[in-house]
Amino acid sequence: ILNVEQSPQSLHVQEGDSTNFTCSFPSSNFYALHWYRWETAKSPEALFVMTLNGDEKKKGQISATLNTKEGYSYLYIKGSQPEDSATYLCAFRNNFNKFYFGSGTKLNVKP
Amino acid sequence: GAVVSQHPSWVICKSGTSVKIECRSLDFQATTMFWYRQFPKQSLMLMATSNEGSKATYEQGVEKDKFLINHASLTLSTLTVTSAHPEDSSFYICSARDVVRTYGYTFGSGTRLTVV
């Protein structure tokens, strides 16, 4: 069984706080690391697809970094807003095109 | 952007009956569809991979005779849970690959199945 770990499991922050989550994954057979944002009763929404060691991607106030050698990725949210409340999932994609998901970080941003 | 429509969003069925879940790609051709399930407080786990026009590939521990997958067209894949039991109660979600965008995988909104 391939382990993809996300931490923390849940996070409660105040509006305006910056926050970050971690996704750790195996460093072998790496093809890509995907981040998704998943709101209740909706489809997971793709945030980033990262493939190269050292990749940094940004979308609005959300950014992500990737370290494939040590097997981790960080997701940062600068100045969290209530609408950022969701579960953030990471998925490790291996060379055989299989996805392995973490259990997600549930973010709650209080106004 | 790419959209996958999944129905039903929730279903309650009696033990022993069968339930069909549909996933349609609305604006792209999905040559490959992935089916996942998620038990409470666990990760999404891949059940099977289906390719249009061929038999699905099931992950270890997933009974192919119980979870029937059909991917007869480039826009439709179905998962049928046959002779459902309470332990099949779970959240099922599909994901399709948009072949135009190499890295693009789009999810349906999921189906909450409760077997009573």
Query: Hey, CA dihedral for B68, B113, B40, A9, is it positive or negative?
Result: positive
- Judging contacts by C-beta atoms under 8 Å, the chain B residues touching residue A100 are 43, 46
Question: Among residues A95, A72, A43, A31, which one has the least CA distance to residue B36?
Answer: A43
Residues of B in contact with A36 (CB under 8 A): 107
The model's pLDDT over A2-24, given as tens digits with 9 standing for 90+, comes to 789 999 999 999 999 999 999 99
Q: Distances from the Cα of A12 to the Cαs of A29, A37, A59, A77, A87, in angstroms?
A: 34, 16, 22, 13, 12
Chain A's closest residue to B94, CA to CA, is A43
Contact list, A43 vs chain B (CB under 8 Å) = 4, 6, 106-110
Hey, are the CB atoms on A41 and B107 less than 8 Å from each other? Answer: no
> What pLDDT is recorded for position A22?
98
The answer to whether residue A2 neighbours chain B at the CB level (below 8 Å) is: no
How many residues can be counted in chain A?
Answer: 111
Nearest to A61 by CA among A93, A84, A92, A90: A84
Of A34, A43, A101, the CB nearest to B109: A43
Report whether pLDDT(A75) > 70. Answer: yes
Alpha-carbon gap, residue B6 to B4, rounded angstroms: 6
pLDDT at residue B100 is higher than 80: no
Largest CA distance in chain A: 43
**What's the alpha-carbon Rg for chain A, to the nearest Å?**
13
Query: Closest Cα of chain A to B68: distance in Å?
Result: 20
Q: How far is B61 from chain A (nearest CA, A)?
A: 12
When pLDDT is cut at 50, 70 and 90, the band that residue A40 belongs to is confident
Per-residue DSSP letter, A27: S
Q: How confident is the model at residue B101 (pLDDT cuts 50, 70, 90)?
A: low
Residues of B in contact with A46 (CB under 8 A): 104-106
Report the greatest alpha carbon distance in chain B.
42
B45-95 residue pLDDT tens: 999 999 888 889 999 999 999 999 999 888 999 999 999 999 999 999 999
Q: Please report, to the nearest 10 degrees, the dihedral formed by the alpha carbons of residues A9, A13, A19, A24 taken in order.
A: 0
SS3 A73: strand
Segment A63-89 mean pLDDT: 97
The per-residue pLDDT for B86 is 96
Q: State whether residue A71 sits within 8 Å of chain B by CB.
A: no
pLDDT confidence bin for B102, thresholds 50/70/90: low
Q: How far apart are CA B101 and CA B107, in angstroms?
A: 14
Chain A residue numbers touching B95 (CB-CB < 8 A): 99
Report the alpha-carbon distance of residue A53 to residue A72 in Å, rounded. Answer: 10
One-letter-per-residue 3-state SS of B68-109: EEEEEECCEEEEEECCCCHHHCEEEEEEEEECCCCCCEEECC
Nearest residue of B to residue A98, measured between CA atoms: B46
Using DSSP, state whether B87 is helix, strand or coil.
helix
Sort out which chain A residues have CB atoms less than 8 A from B36's CB and list them: 101
Q: Which pLDDT band holds residue B40 (cuts at 50, 70, 90)?
A: confident
B107 and A102 within 8 Å at the Cβ level: the answer is no
